[in-house]
Structure 1
Amino acid sequence: MLETKADAAYAIEYFQEHPEAGLCREGRRWWITPNANETDRRILRIDSAEAERLKEDARLQSVADIAHAGRSLWVMRDMT
């Protein structure tokens, strides 16, 4: 269930505090999931402009070949 609307800056903070989270896109819809392994769960919604800005952040990386056809996922890079 979508709870809060986020901007890119808040989303980065969320990812830093929740490294298991992910940015999801399906069609024109974008959301933050608390667990990238369960992309159906939605905790934050994010508009397209903010999401595009967020996905270009060097701290995020795209995840290839996720289980949901037509859905894209980005997660926080492991910087260690």
Structure 2
Amino acid sequence: MTVQVNITPNGRTSLPADIRKRLGLVGGSAVYLVETPEGLVLRTAAQAVARAQALAKRYTEGKPDGSVEAFLAKRREDSGE
């Protein structure tokens, strides 16, 4: 789906109501713009978190030292805590 939105002179834009409803966005919701070679990608906070988790899983899956707990333990060990 392609939707045109306009940018006001002060740099503001608004998302159409049907899109906001479908994505569960309300006033004050965070969205993230990602600049890619193909253009801008807008992600909700939930989508951004899910993407980050998927990327982390790809790099840590099957590695016993890939957990947050293992990372923190290693940091404590390295710092002498």
Q: TM-score band, normalised by the shorter chain?
A: under 0.3
TM, length-normalised to structure 1: 0.28
* Higher relative contact order, chain-length normalized (CA < 8 Å, sep 6+): 1
TM-score, normalised with respect to structure 2:
0.28
- Please tell me whether Structure 1 or Structure 2 has the larger radius of gyration of its CA atoms: 2
Kindly indicate which of the two structures has a greater share of residues assigned to strand.
1
